[in-house]
Every structure is written in structure tokens, then in C-alpha cells.
Structure 1
Amino acid sequence: MSHPRNRIAALAAVAIAVCLLATACTGTPAPGPTTARPTATGIAGLPTGVQQATDVPTDVPNTPELRKNVALASCEKADGGWRAGGTASNPTDTAVDYTITVFFTTDTGTVLGTADTTVSVGAKEKKDWTATAALTPAPKTVCVLRGVG
């Protein structure tokens, strides 16, 4: 058996260690960096007047066999919004209807508006298409061919 004085010394050492640990956890926090944090007005966002789209479709028809026949050739400002355009080709022997969906975004991917159009293309023919959305464009508005069904 151990001597009672040894047990008391061991208990005292444990008690001191617990007190030191507890004191270290409840001390005053160290001062943080002195650099100023950006305010909400200093954080990059959409330019004044430009708004994010609120009704963005999530279930857009997109069939790879049809999509390969549709080209996006233009992306430009239109009266009251933005317009995308291109061509739809039909390599088959029967007429095809293409439903084309375009998202208009900022250069960083924020969706500003959407548009869709349906174009009927006869057998072995090619047709131009356009899709226009009413929106306030960003300085760098991008047209994204989101789906072809």
C-alpha cells in the first residue's frame, strides 16, 4: 500500500492541474487583428438597378441529341432587356420542334432572367431563333444555352 502522504500529494497535484486548466479556458480572449472588416456596402454585388431573377425554372428540358443541333450565335441588348439568338438545324427526314431555353446571367453566374422559345424546323432545314427577356442587364451580361428539348 502507498503512504497517505503520497496519496495527498498526488491529489494536490491533480487539483492544481485542474485549476490551471480551468483558468486557462476562462481567461480574457487574446486581442484580434486590428484590420477593419468590410461593410455591406463594400462587398461586391449586383450593380444598382440590376436584380437577380426570382422565377428561375429548375426542370428545363435538355436532350443531348437535340441540343447538338442548336447553336447560340448572338447575345445582345434588346429594348427593355436582353436577347439571345442562333440557329437550329434538323438533319432528320421529318420536321422537328425545338424548345430552346436561355438563361441571362452576370459574368459570375447570377441569373438575371430567362427566356424560352419554340422553333419548328422542317426536314433537312435550318432556322434562326431568338429568345428575349425583360431585365436590367449587368455590365457584362452572358447568354447561356440552358437546355434544348
Structure 2
Amino acid sequence: MNVRYAALPAVKASVLLMLASTLAAGCSSGEHAVRETPAGPVKSAAAMPDAAKVVANSLPKKIANEPGVRRNVIQTACAAVPGGWGAEGTARNPGEKPVTYKIVVFFTTTKATTLDYAQTLAKVPPGKTVNWSVKKEFKAERKMLCPMPGISVVA
């Protein structure tokens, strides 16, 4: 048996192990870390410029929502207001008794991060439609969305 040829696979394995160790040591979770996900690379918050760091205010833990009454509440606007953001719309009452809707509006970034929220009560007489509006002062982005996660009837 020739010793020179028998040691060759062991040397290759050692070199590959050292190379893999060196490459792994070069990857760190430092300030500019990028993590791969099935959807693509994701930068850590530390790697984003300060302008991209978003600070969200406290949000409610539970939000009443009645899907059956959503058809009666429509949002007609979602726009910047001085010092924050706002939304407005209409609420209708097709019934024969007065109704009060609780409307919760989230103010989110275009990437679906909720920065703040506002809520209002819309009191609607039977057979009528009323306007409703909410606004909130907070550090809004240039473009925001106004989803309504909660529409319910209150007693």
C-alpha cells in the first residue's frame, strides 16, 4: 500500500473542514446582519438606517368585530392630518331601532406595520346614514394604510 495516496483523502477532508470553519467564522450577527428566509433576505433592525426604524405605539389586545355589520360601515378616506393620520367614512342603519357602531381603525405602514390606532362611536338613527371620522397624532410615514380590524355594535 502506498502511504502517499492513502493520506490524500484525509488531507482533502482536513482542508475542507478548515475552509468551512473559516467561512462560518466570517458570518456574524453583527450590526449589518442579513438573514435569508424563503421570501428572500431580511435585514436586522440594526442594519436599517434610522429613518427606516419604525416605532409603534401600544395597541389594544382585544378588538370586538362583528363581520355581519361590516357591510354597514364604509371607509371613504385615509389621509394625512396635521401631526398624524386620519380616516373617515359613513355608517348606515338599515334597521328600525337606533344603533351605535364602534369603529376601530389601525394606521399601518405599506409593509403592514401598525404604528397607531384610533376608534370612534357612530350613533345612527333608524334608516339613516351618518358620517364618521377618526384621527390620531403620531409620527406617520409618508404613505399609510387604514385597515379597520374592528367594527361592532355597542349597547
**TM-score normalised by L of structure 2:** 0.68
Task: Give 1:103's aligned residue.
Answer: 106
SS in 2 for 1:60: coil
Task: State the number of aligned residues.
Answer: 132
Match runs of 1:39-54 below 5 Å: 40-41=47-48, 45-46=52-53, 51-54=54-57
- In the aligned structure 1, how far is the partner of 2:144 from the partner of 2:124? 29
Instruction: Name the amino acid aligned to 1:124.
Output: G
Whichever of the two has the greater Rg, that structure is 1
- In the aligned structure 2, how far is the partner of 1:96 from the partner of 1:21? 76
Task: Give 1:79's aligned residue.
Answer: 82
Higher relative contact order, structure no. (Cα contacts within 8 Å, ≥ 6 residues apart): 1
- In the aligned structure 1, how far is the partner of 2:70 from the partner of 2:15? 67
Match runs of 1:10-29 below 5 Å: 21=13, 24-26=16-18, 29=22
Deviations 1:55-96 (A, max 9, x none): 012311110111111000011222322110000011111111
**TM-score normalised by L of structure 1:** 0.70
SS in 2 for 1:141: coil
Q: 1:148 aligned to 2:151?
A: yes
Match runs of 1:105-124 below 5 Å: 105-124=108-127
Instruction: Name the amino acid aligned to 2:122.
Output: V
- In the aligned structure 1, how far is the partner of 2:124 from the partner of 2:76? 17
- In the aligned structure 2, how far is the partner of 1:82 from the partner of 1:43? 21
Task: Give 1:90's aligned residue.
Answer: 93
Q: Judging changes above 3 Å, is the alpha-carbon distance between structure 1 residues 91 and 57 closer, same or farther for their aligned structure 2 residues?
A: same
